[in-house]
Every structure is written in C-alpha cells, then in structure tokens.
C-alpha cells in the first residue's frame, strides 16, 4: 500500500505521518532509504541544502514522528527496527556544525559525505536514547555498497561512461544492494542488537568520528531545532 511522502518537505512528512496514524497500524520496521547524490547547489522548500535536507533531516524528522508507534509495536522478544541507509562515503565526511547547510563553500561531494556521516551519528545517538528509555526498538545503519541505480545521474559524464562499461563487474544490482538492509530488517541474528554499522550482512566499524558522543548530542540538538521538534533527549545523558 502506497502513501505519498516528500522527504524534502517537512509539511509533506507531517502529513504522511498523520495519514499513517489514521490507519491505526502497528509499525515494526522503518527503513530510511531515500537520497540524492552530488546534486548541484539548491535548497528544499524549507530552505535546507538538498543533501542535508533530504538525505538526513527528512529521515530525522520522519523517524522522530514515528518513534511512539515503533515503541508501541516492539516487544521484548521482537523489537521494532529502524534501518537507516548511509554510505562508505561517510568515512571521508566532515560534520560542520557551524555550517551544516554548506553555505560558506559548497561542494557536492562534501555535502553528500556530510549528510551520510550525519546519518551514522544520528543512528548511534538514537540507539543510545532508545536504550536509556528501555524501548523495545533497535536502530542500525547500513552501507549497501556500490549499487547500480539512478543515484549516479549527477556524476561527470566520464564517470557515467566508466560506470556503464564496468557496472557488470564492480557494481551491485539493486537486489544485491538491498540485501543488507533486508538482513537488518528481518534477520533473527540481529534481534535486539542496535547501534551497529552493517556491511555485507556483517557488523563493521564505521568512521572514528561517528563514535564521538558529544558530536552525536550536538547534532541531535541542532537537528531538533531545524525541524521544529522538542529535544526531549536533552534531559538524558
């Protein structure tokens, strides 16, 4: 069943959540998978830089608005699960807390990498808060690998040619790219396990900076301000 949600629009996200709530359904799995890559400098309707607004803030708001549903749906033996799709690009990402919108010096590569690092930081902070609240919900982050999709439509034409020539050898199919996300969503092997970075269905170490708890807290607080929700986490360690 399809419900429309535009992750570049805070209004659309709120409308989607309202429509979903009206169905009075449980919510056992939330997969945050949407994204853009290397788009030219432009803003969402709320004025956010598009990589940061769509890839990160849209998922941040959506997840927070659905958290109570996830908490209601999870049980001790079957946790509800949040899976957020990041990228190996986060390893080279830098989080500029004083310039999250990349206004000072816009780089498509830098903005994309920052948004993917933000997703990892968000997942780790979210799991910390879920654990502190005793919630039966887990949050994990997935690296799907290099997948042959339309995500690459904004790369240079030379890269497109190389991709076209080598995709069969180096790129995963969309089905292969989705495998770790599906693993994180349904596998009994990760039941009750949260705060993990998963690649090829294995727990892997993410970038060192992603484990910086102070940076996680500061990003969370700033994100709450940007999307207009209360930072209830500020009362927790």
Q: Which residues are catalytic?
A: 112
Q: What are phi and psi of 132, to 5 degrees?
A: -65, -30
**Cβ(177)–Cβ(149) below 8 Å:** yes
CA angle 83, 17, 30 (to 5 degrees): 15
Phi-psi region of 222 (alpha: psi -120 to 50; beta: other; left: phi over 0): alpha
- DSSP letter string, 79-96: -EEEEEE--GGGGG----
Query: Do the beta carbons of residue 1 and residue 54 sit within 8 Å?
Result: no
CA dihedral 55, 59, 60, 64 (to 10 degrees): 180
- List CB contacts of 10: < 8 A, sequence separation 6 or more: 46, 58, 61, 227, 228
- Please tell me the distance from the alpha carbon of residue 128 to that of residue 219, in angstroms, as a whole number: 14
Q: How many Cβ atoms are within 10 Å of 211's Cβ, its own excluded?
A: 15
């Amino acid at each position: 069943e399809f419900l429309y949600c535009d992750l570049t629009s805070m209004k659309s996200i709120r409308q989607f959540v309202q429509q979903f709530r009206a169905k009075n359904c449980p919510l056992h799995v939330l997969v945050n998978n949407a994204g853009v890559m290397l788009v030219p400098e432009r803003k969402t309707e709320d004025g956010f830089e598009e990589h940061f607004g769509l890839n990160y803030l849209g998922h941040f708001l959506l997840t927070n608005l659905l958290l109570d549903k996830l908490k209601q749906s999870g049980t001790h033996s079957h946790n509800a699960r949040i899976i957020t799709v990041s990228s190996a690009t986060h390893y080279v990402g830098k989080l500029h807390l004083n310039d999250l919108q990349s206004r000072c010096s816009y780089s498509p590569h830098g903005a994309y990498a920052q948004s993917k690092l933000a997703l990892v930081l968000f997942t780790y902070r979210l799991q910390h808060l879920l654990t502190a609240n005793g919630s039966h919900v887990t949050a994990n982050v997935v690296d799907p690998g290099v997948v042959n999709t339309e995500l690459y439509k904004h790369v240079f034409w030379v890269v497109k040619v190389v991709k076209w020539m080598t995709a069969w050898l180096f790129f995963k199919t969309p089905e292969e790219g989705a495998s770790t996300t599906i693993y994180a969503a349904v596998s009994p092997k990760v039941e009750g396990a949260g705060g993990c970075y998963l690649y090829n269905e294995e727990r892997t170490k993410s970038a060192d900076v992603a484990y910086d708890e102070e940076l996680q807290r500061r990003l969370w607080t700033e994100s709450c301000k940007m999307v207009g929700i209360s930072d209830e986490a500020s009362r927790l360690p």
